Structure 1
Amino acid sequence: MKKIIFLLFFGTTFFVNGQDKGTVFGGFETNAQWYLNDKTLYDEFYNSVSQPENPVRSNSYLFVNYKIKNWSFGVQGEAYEQDALLNYNPKYKGVNLATYYARFKMEKIDVTAGYFYEQFGSGLLLRTWEDRALGINNALRGGRIIFKPVSSFTLKAVYGQQRTGFDVSNGKIYGVDADISLSDLFKFENSDLGIGFSYVGRDEKTDIVNPKFNDVTNGFAGRINYSHGSFYLSTEYDYKSEDAVVQVRNQIDNNLIKPGSALLFNMGYSKRGLGIDGTFRRLENMSFFSERIAKGNSFNDLIMNYIPSLTKQHHYNLANIYVYQAQPNVILNDVSIVKAGEIGGQIDLFYNFKKGSKLGGKYGTKVAVNYSQYNALGGKFYIYTPQDYQTDFFGFGKKYFSDVNVEITKKWNNKLQTVLSYINQYYNKKLVEETYGEVKTNIIGAEATYRFNDTKSLRLQGEHMWADSDKKNWAALTAEVNLGTKYTIFASDMYNYGNDDPKLRINYYTIGNSYRYKSTRVSLSYGRQRGGLVCVGGVCRYVPESTGVSLSLNTSF
């Protein structure tokens, strides 16, 4: 069936395009790696890193879209040869047609059949998206209708099964979302006020005999967004009906049936030269998967909702060693590790000292301060049979994570700009990763960019981290040379010189270059990959220690 759809699409595309009707656009991306043996690099079990089976691997994507008048069509083919890159979902294997869609769109109606991506509100109940760096593609295969009878009202309805590898989930997802712009409705001139409501249902029948939970899990959400001048405010509350808790992957607990909830609040003020933003979030048992037993998988497979870590997204390598992951899950199996969610938030503040002032100098100075902290939910937890818990809505339990950082950006002249940063972190590895230990770090970072002319520049970045436990102290250096608008050379090194185990005092080096021509970019590099979390937008995946040659190609047409 997939091959028939693929052939019909391309046959129609090239026939119509040959008649000079419609538009064809798309792209191709491949990320390949040749993994090498490295006797001085060790994995998590203290074994020397060796080549995996099929050491040459690649993830490749070809996507083609065709648009004519109110219609658009698209397909995406994917190839994972000889296997997918290390620690990608093993369901990604071989060559196959991955997604396809047909869409009809007018001013008031928008209908899609096939695979599609959607988000309700902040995504705490439903978000489907693709991120190739993380190996996420949780598109829904089914249908979506968007109805907008007037400018102030938008109604969405979706139904489908979630993508998993080249197949779809057993669980079925359906939902309705409504957005109402009260500002348009009541003709507010100086303010913007909107409200929204969502419903999401997940229907999955399990093999549990005499289940104490329903096949259908219902989620409800309401939200408000308001802004006036430089001030803005938004809030959302989500509720998930009672469902069986999964504490250990592939094990549905028929004796622990609990609801879930989420509260998100954001408020801020911004004007020229000054900005302040505060976010608060409380999560309780808010994991949501299209198949219950998928909870706990390390590939973000079958995940229905979007729960990023709401912390500073650092661009320094060392600040991302102990990176926080959101904690929406319930764990009651160990008396020393009990949790039912998270509570916390962050505050961002930036201020630009004016040009010509004592602190601003000729070109101005920008200071940014960020503070984030997240704790376990406070309450009563019972780990012995029967397991149960009661949380306090605004109760703070043990601390998971905190990060306070200051960043000063200074432009000295038309050629030189510097950035100086200080970061202090606390990371409860035992609770966040469910392993052991706590880590406190102090990190300093300095960056300088020198522009020789409009197209050529040199960027140097140095970092140092003092850590009181785990792998202890690190140092890092990055250099990047831009030789015009097309060619870049880069090199970096992270050295774990403070590790208590001498054989683990490793240099993680990388050298490489990239070339860009029009809409095509090619990058080639060689080096070592530090094992740990790789994160994009607050969502992470684990990558193992490795050494090898990497090739990346990305083009669009």
Structure 2
Amino acid sequence: MRFAAVALLWSAFAQAQDYGQLSGGLESNSQYYVDDKKTGDFTEDDRFRSNNYLRLDYTIKNWFANVQLESFEPRALLNYYPKYEGTDFGTFSVGYKSQKLEVTVGNFYEQFGSGLVLRTWEDRQLGINNSLRGGHVTYRPFDAVEVTALYGRQRDGFEVSRGDIYGFNTELGLGNFLGFETTGLDLGFSYVGRYEDLEVDNTEFNPMTNAFSTRLDFSEGSFYASGEYVLKGKDMYQELGDLYEDTYFDGNALLLNLGYAKSGLGIDATFRRMENMAFYSQRDQGQYGDNPYNQDVVNYLPALTKQHDYSLANIYVYQSQPKLVFNPLAKAGEIGGQIDVYKKFNRGTILGGKYGTKIALNYATWYGLDSKFNAVERNYDSGDFLAFGQKYFRETSMEVRKKISSKWSTIVTLVDTYYNTKYVEDRAGEVNAFITIAEATYKFGSSKSVRIEGQHMWSDDKDHDRAKNWAGGTLEYNFNSKFALFATDIWNYGNPDEDRQIHYYNFGGSFTKGSTRIGASYGRQRGGLVCVGGICRYVPQNTGFTLNIATAF
């Protein structure tokens, strides 16, 4: 905090003296874990744990520099990557940026296309920061042409991984070249190579693995479409951290997206097929058990399903299945997609009423590839390219947003889910669940409001940690734009084991002023997945106090 105060003073001084501009942000997330007869005693070291991030960005004319200091003291929060420990500089870089040229040396983030071959990013809630440390150059000789070249090693805790990452990307605005006035047509091509030399007995071992992506984006009026195809070269097979130096497989991916959007109506459909598309900058990242910490991942393969905001709708969360695995359960990848339909009924219509109505529909379904496996010899045949295998996941949801009066607004959500725990989580069972959610907000004035939310889930899950029916609710009161209090609870009242019928309650509040927010709470955390944008992190069951502080300057 003292360092942040010094940075604030320097920022004001530098700008006053025309020495450039300094900006940044501080984020602190802390928890104190306590014993609880329902969720269990805390048996690990250090009940108090804290993740802290201080980022500073400095610019002067066309030059820039940034640094991020991170502290995980005395330890990181539960189930973060074990290499996040102590205090050190997490990322740093310097560079130059103009209209045509951008050069960065140090840590940088990049995404090629949809991310199927490369995406580096940071999400502190998930404990992900896979930035590349090296060099990055982007050149734009014309308005319709952009070329990027990069080299680096991915961040791994406060260190970097063993693998060298090489990348090249080009974006061509064909619509501009062809003189199209209303039609958008863009072509992209990417190359990513991972070089990791290993001491293996196989003389034919190739330390380089190459991935290529080509894509085309089209738009005309209210219609848009895009497609991307990826080829991933042969890579050594790994299973739970064990490398099989005589076993190699290539991979591929196909992504298609179609959409239509105009005032009051939106339709978006996505199809994706992935086969053996797991891609790590360090091959043995399975050492912690199929990489639950999402570390050293070169590409971005999120689950393409609806991202829910409600706790019960996030119990059975699908995770993408891009890997080739022979044991304990044979899988070669996934195939499926989703479709979203958004419709707004205007005021004065039958369904719109006085204030209008918004309806959102989503249907998502995912399957394994229809493949034949020989687990003994470790080989397989993926069969027809578009053949569907075992069903993994299916979900249908509807959300209706309706303003009843100038003060009352409501949201009603229905979710019907099929979840194959055998293939998604590698444990026995299949689950059918139906969830209903109702939310109402009452506004007293311009900034004072109360929000009430009720949830219920019917489930046939036989797992005693998640079994049968759940109920949940939230009460939130906003005194003004600065201060708010909340209380929430979900309860697995249908569990046949009464000792496992637990109220996962949580209550607290937040205070916001300008760019500073402070939040505090106490309660129980249900063991399960925390997901952001289709990428998930497992959080163990626990009870304790939480303090979050975030500010920007």
TM-score normalized with structure 1 length: 0.95
Which residue of 2 is the match for residue 480 of structure 1? 476
Which residue of 2 is the match for residue 397 of structure 1? 389
Which residue of 1 is the match for residue 258 of structure 2? 267
Deviates more, 1:350-359 or 1:321-330: 350-359
* 1:20 aligned to which of 11, 18, 21: 18
Which residue of 2 is the match for residue 154 of structure 1? 146
Which structure carries more strand by proportion?
A: 1
1:409 aligns with 2:401: yes
Q: Residue type matched to 1:304 in 2? A: V
Q: Aligned in 2, Cα 1:284/1:213: closer, same or farther, shift over 3 Å?
A: farther
Shift of 1:254: 2.5
- CA deviations on 1:122-156 (whole Å, 9 max, x unpaired) are 00100000000000000000000000000000000
Q: Residue type matched to 2:454 in 1? A: G
* 1:326 aligned to which of 320, 327, 330: 320
- CA deviations on 1:502-544 (whole Å, 9 max, x unpaired) are 1111000000100001110000000000111000000000000
Q: Residue type matched to 1:256 in 2? A: T
SS, match of residue 505 in structure 2? strand
CA distance in 2, matches of 1:479, 1:345: 35
Shift of 1:13: 8.5
Q: Residue type matched to 2:437 in 1? A: G
Which residue of 2 is the match for residue 492 of structure 1? 488
Alignment of 1:290-329 (within 5 A): 290-295=281-286, 296-329=290-323
SS, match of residue 189 in structure 1? coil
- CA deviations on 1:104-131 (whole Å, 9 max, x unpaired) are 0111111000000000000010000000
Q: Work out whether residues 328 and 341 of structure 1, in 8 Å CA contact, stay in contact via their aligned partners in 2.
A: yes
- CA deviations on 1:308-328 (whole Å, 9 max, x unpaired) are 000000111101000000000
1:547 aligns with 2:547: no
* 1:252 aligned to which of 218, 243, 248: 243
Which residue of 2 is the match for residue 29 of structure 1? 27
CA distance in 2, matches of 1:445, 1:74: 44
Q: Work out whether residues 36 and 548 of structure 1, in 8 Å CA contact, stay in contact via their aligned partners in 2.
A: yes
CA distance in 1, matches of 2:48, 2:109: 31
Which residue of 1 is the match for residue 235 of structure 2? 243
* 1:289 aligned to which of 273, 280, 291: 280
- CA deviations on 1:462-510 (whole Å, 9 max, x unpaired) are 1000001231110000111111110111110000111122111100000
* 1:425 aligned to which of 417, 427, 438: 417
Shift of 1:255: 3.5
Deviates more, 1:206-215 or 1:423-432: 206-215
Shift of 1:227: 0.7
SS, match of residue 292 in structure 1? coil
SS, match of residue 326 in structure 2? strand
Q: Residue type matched to 1:324 in 2? A: Y
Q: Residue type matched to 2:512 in 1? A: R
* 2:188 aligned to which of 189, 193, 196: 196
Which residue of 2 is the match for residue 371 of structure 1? 363
SS, match of residue 177 in structure 2? helix
* 1:218 aligned to which of 204, 210, 215: 210
CA distance in 2, matches of 1:391, 1:54: 52
1:455 aligns with 2:451: no
CA distance in 1, matches of 2:46, 2:476: 32
Q: Work out whether residues 213 and 242 of structure 1, in 8 Å CA contact, stay in contact via their aligned partners in 2.
A: no
- CA deviations on 1:216-258 (whole Å, 9 max, x unpaired) are 000000011111111000110111001111122x211224311
Q: Residue type matched to 1:536 in 2? A: V
SS, match of residue 183 in structure 1? helix
Question: Unpaired runs of 5+ in structure 1?
Answer: 1-8, 42-47
Which residue of 2 is the match for residue 352 of structure 1? 344
Shift of 1:364: 1.1
- After TM superposition, what 4+ stretches of structure 1 lie above 6 angstroms from structure 2? 12-15
Q: What is the CA RMSD across the aligned residues, in angstroms?
A: 1.7
CA distance in 1, matches of 2:51, 2:551: 15
Which residue of 2 is the match for residue 45 of structure 1? none
Q: Work out whether residues 212 and 254 of structure 1, in 8 Å CA contact, stay in contact via their aligned partners in 2.
A: no
SS, match of residue 315 in structure 1? coil
Query: How many pairs does the alignment contain?
Result: 540
CA distance in 1, matches of 2:214, 2:167: 14
Q: Residue type matched to 2:202 in 1? A: N
Q: Work out whether residues 255 and 386 of structure 1, in 8 Å CA contact, stay in contact via their aligned partners in 2.
A: no
CA distance in 2, matches of 1:231, 1:427: 33
SS, match of residue 37 in structure 2? strand
CA distance in 2, matches of 1:386, 1:26: 51
CA distance in 1, matches of 2:235, 2:153: 19
Deviates more, 1:476-485 or 1:144-153: 476-485
- CA deviations on 1:76-129 (whole Å, 9 max, x unpaired) are 100001100000011011111111100101111110000000000000100000
Shift of 1:430: 0.9
- CA deviations on 1:189-210 (whole Å, 9 max, x unpaired) are 1111101000000000123221
CA distance in 1, matches of 2:76, 2:443: 39
TM-score normalized with structure 2 length: 0.95
1:279 aligns with 2:270: yes
Aligned-pair identity in percent equals 49
Q: Work out whether residues 65 and 92 of structure 2, in 8 Å CA contact, stay in contact via their aligned partners in 1.
A: yes
1:141 aligns with 2:137: no
Q: Residue type matched to 1:528 in 2? A: R
Q: Residue type matched to 1:496 in 2? A: N
Shift of 1:367: 1.5
Q: Work out whether residues 213 and 257 of structure 1, in 8 Å CA contact, stay in contact via their aligned partners in 2.
A: no
Q: Residue type matched to 2:114 in 1? A: S
